[in-house]
Amino acid sequence: MKIALIAHDNKKTDLVQFSTAYSSILEQHELFATGTTGLRISEATGLQIHRFQSGPLGGDQEIGAMIAKNQMDMVIFFRDPLTAQPHEPDVTALIRLCDVYSVPLATNMGTAEVLIHGLEKGFISWREIIHERQEGNNL
């Protein structure tokens, strides 16, 4: 599965801790992240992560493009709801794309833990069916 890891500045430490706690699950998947978040997680955990631009510089949009092509299976996005974000329209668009393409999205640690345990138990494997159908349509 392809998993995006994103965090606003005030939530980066939380996502690093989450990624550390669940590194044994995350290491079994293909990971993507926005710039600084990906660097911090990689340094703390040793996980291999494809890093996009930082969120305000287009990283959210790069992940959104993958979602729009059904190339992202889960998004863990620790948002800071108490701080205004200069790229809020990009964040809103990313969340909307997750809804449009039925990509599981966690915006806080509680939901992220439910998703990561579901991933571990195979409850997200329905995404593989979507990939198979997509490949069949490309033949």
Q: Is 124 in a helix, a strand, or coil? A: coil
**Tokens 């992202």 appear where?**
72
**Tokens 């195979």 appear where?**
122
Active site residues: 60
